[in-house]
Structure 1
Amino acid sequence: MTQPPHDEPTAENSEELREQVEQTREELGQTVAALAAKTDVKARAQEKAAEVKQQAAAKAGELKEQVVAKAGEVKAKATDLTHQAQDRLPDPVKDTAAQAAGQARARAARAGELWEEKAPEPVRQKTAHGAQAARDNRTLLLTTAGVATLVWLACRRRKG
């Protein structure tokens, strides 16, 4: 028979021996369970996928916050640049622009009336739906227009 390891005491009686055997069985069962968990590739892959998904969701939230903040900055910058441009315009140009805008509104109203009379119903419905979508997403459209204006101004400055 084998001798017990030197660091473990030997059993004095059969009861102690049974307890040692039971404890060894429990430890062996725990070791086997741990090894089985390590070799369960599917479970480990699912755990890793869940971890990556959670990290991606957190990163997406951070990026969304950054985009919202940057959009606010761009909107403020576009508003500032618009005011600066308006302030630099001479009064005769402003007056001419106001007159042109009034005439454009009048022409648009006449065109709208003509549109109502001549356009087929399905086309009018789709156009109304598109206009409503534009009104519902006004902030996004204005922000996009502001960004486009900033890009255009930046390109002009680089060329000039």
Structure 2
Amino acid sequence: MTQPPHDEPTASSPDELREQVEHTREELGQTVEAMAAKTDVKARAQEKAAEVKQQATAKAGELRTKAADLTHRAQDSLPDPVKEWAAQAAGQIRERAAQAGHVWEEKAPEPVRNKTVQGAQLARDNRSLLLTAAGVAVVLWLAFRRKR
């Protein structure tokens, strides 16, 4: 029979021995679970993906706030004639987009229109994800542009 570890006392009764055995089994079970968790690549990848997604969402929020601030500062610094011209141009763009939409509805085949509607709805449903991806793309573009 092997000697017990030096830091653990030997059992003086069968009940004490059973207790020690149960305690050792629990420790062994926890160790096995910890090792299994470390080898579960899929779960670790999912955890990492969730962490990265959370970081990207936070960064996108920061970028959105900065962009809104810059937009407001730029708008505040524009002279009134430029603001009026921009408002007129935006109105014309909205009007032309509406006209293009009507032409699209009249001329496009039904299956194509249905797919377009589905794609637009998907984009609306995932707006925050799309904005986050766009924000990350802009940040990466700026980072790579600065390195050159």
- Same fold? TM cut 0.5: yes
> Could you tell me the percent identity over the aligned residues?
63
CA distance 1:146–1:80, change in 2 (3 Å): farther
Q: Which residue of 2 aligns with 1:118?
A: 107
Task: Give the alignment of 1:16-95 within 5 angstroms.
Answer: 48-53=35-40, 56=44, 59-95=48-84
- Please report how far the alpha carbon of residue 62 of structure 1 lies from its aligned counterpart in structure 2 after TM superposition: 4.0
Residue 47 of structure 1 deviates from its aligned partner by 6.6
Q: Which moved more, 1:59-68 or 1:89-98?
A: 59-68
> What 5-or-longer segments of structure 1 have no aligned partner?
1-22, 24-29, 31-43
What amino acid sits opposite 2:105 in the alignment?
E
**AA of the residue aligned to 2:35:** K
> When the two structures are aligned, how many residues end up with a matched partner?
121
Describe the shift of the 1:48–1:145 C-alpha distance in structure 2 as closer, same or farther (beyond 3 A): closer
Q: Quick check: 1:130 aligned with 2:119?
A: yes
RMSD of Structure 2 on Structure 1 (CA): 3.9
Q: Distance in 2 between matches of 1:89 and 1:154?
A: 29
Cα distance in 2, alignment partners of residues 97 and 148 from structure 1: 27
Q: Which residue of 1 aligns with 2:3?
A: none
Q: Is the 8 A contact 1:78 1:150 kept in 2?
A: no
2:125 maps to a residue whose letter is D
Contact 2:60 2:135 in 1 (8 A): no
Mapped contact 2:123–2:130 kept (Cα < 8 A): yes
Question: Relative to structure 2, which stretch is displaced further, 94-103 or 82-91?
Answer: 82-91
**Normalized against structure 1, the TM-score is what?**
0.55
Q: CA deviation at 1:83?
A: 1.6
Structure 1 pair 97/62, CA: closer, same or farther in 2 (3 Å)? same
The CA deviation at 1:99 is: 0.6
- Cα distance, 1:145 vs structure 2: 4.3
Q: Are 2:130 and 1:141 equivalent residues in the alignment? A: yes
Question: Is residue 57–residue 132 contact of structure 2 (8 Å, CA) maintained in 1?
Answer: no
Alpha-carbon contact 2:60-2:132 (below 8 Å) kept: yes
Partner residue, 2:95? 106
Larger radius of gyration: 1
Gaps of 5+ in 2: 1-13, 15-20, 22-30
